[in-house]
Amino acid sequence: MAKLTWPHHEAQRLFKQVGGTKESVIFETGYGPSGLPHIGTFAEVARTTFVINAFKRAYPDVATRLIVFSDDLDGLRSLPDNVPNHDLLRPHLGEPLSSIPDPFGQEASFSAFMNRQLQNFLDYYGFTYEFYSSTLTYRSGRFDEGLRRIMDCYEPIRDLFTATISPDKRQEWSPFFPICAACGKIYTTRVTAIDKLNYTLSYRCDQSDGKYQPCGHVATTPITGGAVKVGWKVDWALRWFVLGVDYEMYGKDLIDSYAMSQKICALLGGKPPAGYKYELFLDENGAKISKKIGNGISMEQWQAYAPLGALLHFLLANPNKARQMGMPILPKIVDDYLKALRTEARDDEYGTLWFIDQLQHHHDASGLRNSEIGYALLVNVAENLGLHEGAVLFEYASRHDPSVLENEPFFRELCVKVVAYVQDYQAKLPQQSLDIDIRYAPYLRDLRQAVQALTDRGEFEANNLQNAVFTVSRCYGLVQSEWFKFLYQALIGKDKGSRMGTFLAVLGAERVLAMLDGAIARFLPLVASFQAEALEPILANAESISADENVHVYPIVGAMQIDPDGVWQIKTKALITDLLEQPLLLEGPDRESAEPIDAQVEKERIYQQASTLLSACLTGLQRAIGPLLRASE
Q: Is 179 a binder of Zn ion (CB under 5 A)?
A: no
Q: Is 475 a binder of Zn ion (CB under 5 A)?
A: no
Rounded CA gap, 119 and 126, in Å?
Answer: 10
Of 112-120, 209-217, 271-279, 585-593, the segment contacting Zn ion by CB under 5 A is: 209-217
Name the residue nearer to Zn ion (CB basis): 105 or 216: 216
Residue 144 Cβ, how far from Zn ion at the closest point, in Å? 24
CA angle 136, 123, 121 (to 5 degrees): 80
Residue 171 Cβ, how far from Zn ion at the closest point, in Å? 21
Q: Is 505 a binder of Zn ion (CB under 5 A)?
A: no
Of 104-112, 181-189, 282-290, 467-475, the segment contacting Zn ion by CB under 5 A is: 181-189
Q: Is 186 a binder of Zn ion (CB under 5 A)?
A: no
Name the residue nearer to Zn ion (CB basis): 90 or 196: 90
Q: Is 509 a binder of Zn ion (CB under 5 A)?
A: no
Rounded CA gap, 291 and 301, in Å?
Answer: 14
Q: Is 218 a binder of Zn ion (CB under 5 A)?
A: no
Q: If we measure between CA atoms, which residue out of 305, 328, 298 comes closest to residue 417?
A: 305
Question: Residue 89 contacts by C-beta under 8 Å, 6 or more apart in sequence?
Answer: 76, 79, 83, 100, 101, 103, 110
Q: Is 205 a binder of Zn ion (CB under 5 A)?
A: yes
Residue 208 Cβ, how far from Zn ion at the closest point, in Å? 11
Name the residue nearer to Zn ion (CB basis): 219 or 329: 219
Contact pick of 43, 100, 183, 419 for Zn ion (by CB under 5 A): 183
Of 215-223, 255-263, 275-283, 354-362, the segment contacting Zn ion by CB under 5 A is: 215-223
Taking CA atoms, 313 is separated from 125, 316, 387, 435, in Å, by: 15, 5, 28, 35
Q: Is 217 a binder of Zn ion (CB under 5 A)?
A: yes
Q: Is 190 a binder of Zn ion (CB under 5 A)?
A: no
Residue 112 Cβ, how far from Zn ion at the closest point, in Å? 23
DSSP string covering 300-367: HHHHHHS-HHHHHHHHHS-TTS--B-SGGGHHHHHHHHHHHHHHS-TT-TTSHHHHHHHHHSS-----
CA angle 407, 411, 412 (to 5 degrees): 115
Q: List own/partner pairs for 188-195 with CB under 8 A and 24 or more apart.
A: 188/94, 188/212, 188/213, 188/214, 188/215, 189/214, 192/218, 194/151, 194/154, 195/220
Q: Is 227 a binder of Zn ion (CB under 5 A)?
A: no
Contact pick of 136, 215, 219, 304 for Zn ion (by CB under 5 A): 215
Of 15-23, 125-133, 207-215, 476-484, the segment contacting Zn ion by CB under 5 A is: 207-215
Q: Is 574 a binder of Zn ion (CB under 5 A)?
A: no
DSSP string covering 13-69: HHHHHHTT--SEEEEEEEE-TTS---HHHHHHHHHHHHHHHHHHHH-TTSEEEEEEE
Name the residue nearer to Zn ion (CB basis): 54 or 76: 76
Rounded CA gap, 280 and 326, in Å?
Answer: 13
As a dihedral over the C-alpha atoms of residue 129, residue 134, residue 136, residue 140, rounded to 10 degrees, the angle is 110
Contact pick of 63, 165, 182, 599 for Zn ion (by CB under 5 A): 182
Residue 214 Cβ, how far from Zn ion at the closest point, in Å? 6
Q: Is 219 a binder of Zn ion (CB under 5 A)?
A: no
Q: Is 180 a binder of Zn ion (CB under 5 A)?
A: yes
Residues in the chain: 633
Of 94-102, 200-208, 305-313, 362-370, the segment contacting Zn ion by CB under 5 A is: 200-208
Name the residue nearer to Zn ion (CB basis): 219 or 436: 219
Amino acid in position 569 = Q
Of 130-138, 162-170, 180-188, 269-277, the segment contacting Zn ion by CB under 5 A is: 180-188
Of 4-12, 176-184, 243-251, 521-529, the segment contacting Zn ion by CB under 5 A is: 176-184
Name the residue nearer to Zn ion (CB basis): 89 or 183: 183
Residue 174 Cβ, how far from Zn ion at the closest point, in Å? 16
DSSP state of 282: B
Residue 252 CA neighbour count, 13 Å, CB half: 11
Terminus-to-terminus CA distance in the chain, angstroms? Answer: 64
Residue 419 Cβ, how far from Zn ion at the closest point, in Å? 55
What residues make contact with Zn ion under the rule CB under 5 A?
Answer: 180, 182-183, 205, 215, 217
